[in-house]
Amino acid sequence: MISMRNVSKVYGADKPALGDVNVEIEQGEFVFLVGHSGSGKSTFIRLLQRELLPSSGTIIVAGQDLTKMKNWKVPFLRRNIGCVFQDFKLLPNKTTYENVAFALEVIGRSKHVIRTQVPEVLRLVGLEDKINSYPDELSGGEQQRVSIARAFVNRPPLLLADEPTGNLDPATSLGIMSLFSRINKTGTTVLVATHDREMVDSMRKRVIALENGVVIRDQDRGVYGYGD
Amino acid sequence: MAINLGYFLKESVVSFRRNWVMSLGAVITIYLSLLLVGASVGSSMIVSQVVRSVEEKVSIRVFLKDGAAPADVDSLQAALVADARVKNVKYTSKEQALKDFGATMVESPELVDALEVNPLPASLDVDLKTPQDVNAVVAMIKANPTFLKVADRPDKPEKSLKYGQQIVNQLFAFTRVLRAVGAVFIIMLAIISLIFINNTIRLAIYARRKEIGIMRLVGASNWFIRTPFLLEGTLQSLLGALLALLTLGSIQWFVMPKVRETISFLPVTLSAGAAAQISAILILSGVVIGLGGSAFALRRYLKV
């Protein structure tokens, strides 16, 4: 699903944000990307979205080489990648339903598809009762569920999450993580960048640890780390 | 596609309302520029029509001296009639000339009565088949030896001839100036309109930056993101074009008839074909300005 070979990313002339990263992620895997702030997690995620291009190396996502991809094809790549962020990125003037439907509208899905898929995904994330609520009427955890519903409504084979529980309390975070786990069980590859130690330790999934832009550990059924 | 068009139109209208002061400003500048475009194109069409009608009236008048030998006059007339470029030649006697002059002075006949002797010369009036031949025929007349014998002022042959070329040249010079001034104004206004559209679209992009971010995130195609803005700019500028057309139309229907009454001797009308041509020009330049201005803004402010 994801293959990064000798990937480096340098902003300006300083030391690299990512240096010589080699990572292979198979389809259907659940992977945590851990590290301190500034360790390169966000750069890693943005490279996969082709929000950024690497300074060197190759990145292959879903069989496509992002470094050789034409600009006009990028939107079609992104339809296959669901994205979840720390700040939810919901539109405040749209209801739960409309926020999720928006993701389908703008890629030209028919009204019929929207009417069947949106309620379905809202049921999956447990928000069937909040369909007509606006984001400011929802709790942080509920807002994050809306944003996950939006990321998943098009059934992408890959889901990327950048600090999805960064603004949430531990109990709520647990709920979000089990939601990711459920999505992963449908066959979707899930990559979660986080520095939530408890979460990573309790889930026992594959862990890739970054430090100063370098992969220092890549471990199946791993934990957040020792000693730090 | 039908769904999309509805979506795009809705987005454009919402954006127009959200940002109505700037949008109105853009519509008004486009309205004024296109009004000027239409007015100057229309008036230059009318002026060239007037010029053509004056050209058609171009004839050469050869003044004859008093007591010119009738045989010489006849031979000059025969030589002129024989020329292929001449349509016909009419002889006007001194008496006829005075009568014609009196007809133009009906308001003060005492001036004509006051004349003790008839000061007007007899003349040969030469009508041409095509006005462009005026100068050639004038040269031909000057070269004719009989002309010098019968000319009113043989010492200055030029003064014995009168023809309309001077007037036509002046009118053409006038239209040239009119066109140049018009073109400068139009170019300036077109630039201002482009800047205005560019600005409103920039604000529209700024107002929708969150939606745009999400659209990019979920994989909306670049054209899907761009189209509402292009449409918004184009609709604004089409609105300006329609207002300009409405104004020009009311001038054509309500003001022009009054002008025709006042100067009935000149054909100051704009044909239906010309009006359609101007409408097409306005609509087309409206679309070009709207698309151009918003495309420019998108290139600068919308990274997709």
Give the model confidence (pLDDT) of A140-159 as tens digits.
999 999 999 999 999 999 99
Statement to judge: residues B190 and B78 lie in one domain: no
Q: What is the pLDDT of residue B93?
A: 85
Residues listed for chain B: 304
Statement to judge: residues B140 and B217 lie in one domain: no
Task: Show the domain range for B95.
Answer: 59-163
Residue B283's pLDDT band, with cuts at 50, 70 and 90, is very high
pTM: 0.70
Statement to judge: residues B203 and B152 lie in one domain: no
Mean pLDDT for B262-289 is 85
pLDDT score of B81 more than 70 = yes
Statement to judge: residues B211 and B265 lie in one domain: yes
Statement to judge: residues B173 and B257 lie in one domain: yes
Statement to judge: residues B29 and B64 lie in one domain: no
Residues paired with residue B260 on neighbouring β-strands, in sequence order: none
> Which of these three, B163, B189, B205, is where a domain ends?
B163
Which two tokens mark B125? 């009036």
Q: What is the CATH number of the domain that holds B140?
A: 3.30.70.3040
| DSSP β-ladder status, B59-64 and B161-163 | antiparallel
Strand runs labelled E in A26-119: 30-34, 56-61, 64-65, 81-85
When comparing pLDDT for B50 and B209, which is higher?
A: B209
Q: How far is it, in rounded angstroms, from Cα B290 to Cα B241?
A: 10
Is the CB of A89 less than 8 angstroms away from the CB of B219?
Answer: no
> For residue B225, what is the nearest residue in chain A, using CA coordinates?
A106
Q: Which residue stretches of chain B are H helix?
A: 2-18, 20-56, 70-82, 94-104, 109-113, 134-143, 145-150, 165-207, 209-218, 222-250, 256-262, 272-301
Statement to judge: residues B172 and B240 lie in one domain: yes
> Which of these three, B147, B163, B179, is where a domain ends?
B163
Statement to judge: residues B144 and B33 lie in one domain: no
Nearest to A159 by CA among A193, A132, A128, A202: A193
Statement to judge: residues B42 and B136 lie in one domain: no
Nearest to A147 by CA among A103, A200, A193, A203: A103
Which two tokens mark B151? 């000319």
Q: What is the pLDDT of residue A227?
A: 46
Which two tokens mark B109? 């006949």
Distances (CA, A) of A30 to A38, A158, A160, A218, A222: 23, 10, 10, 13, 12
> Which of these three, B145, B163, B181, is where a domain ends?
B163
Statement to judge: residues B220 and B260 lie in one domain: yes
> For residue A147, what is the nearest residue in chain B, using CA coordinates?
B214
What ipTM, to 2 d.p.?
0.86
Chain B positions contacting chain A at CB under 8 Å are 3-4, 7, 210-211, 213-222, 224-225
Nearest to B18 by CA among A197, A46, A97, A93: A93
When comparing pLDDT for A38 and B53, which is higher?
A: A38
Statement to judge: residues B186 and B93 lie in one domain: no
Domain total of chain B: 2
> For residue A110, what is the nearest residue in chain B, using CA coordinates?
B3
What is the four-CA torsion angle of B222, B224, B225, B231, rounded to 10 degrees? 120
pLDDT score of A208 more than 70 = yes
Residue B1's pLDDT band, with cuts at 50, 70 and 90, is very low
**Mutation to test the A interface, candidates B1, B17, B209, B217, most A Cβ within 10 Å:** B217
Chain A nearest C-alpha distance from B20 (Å): 20
**pLDDT (tens digit, 9 = 90+) per residue, A171-189?**
899 999 999 999 999 999 9
Number of inter-chain CB pairs under 8 A, A vs B = 54
Statement to judge: residues B49 and B119 lie in one domain: no
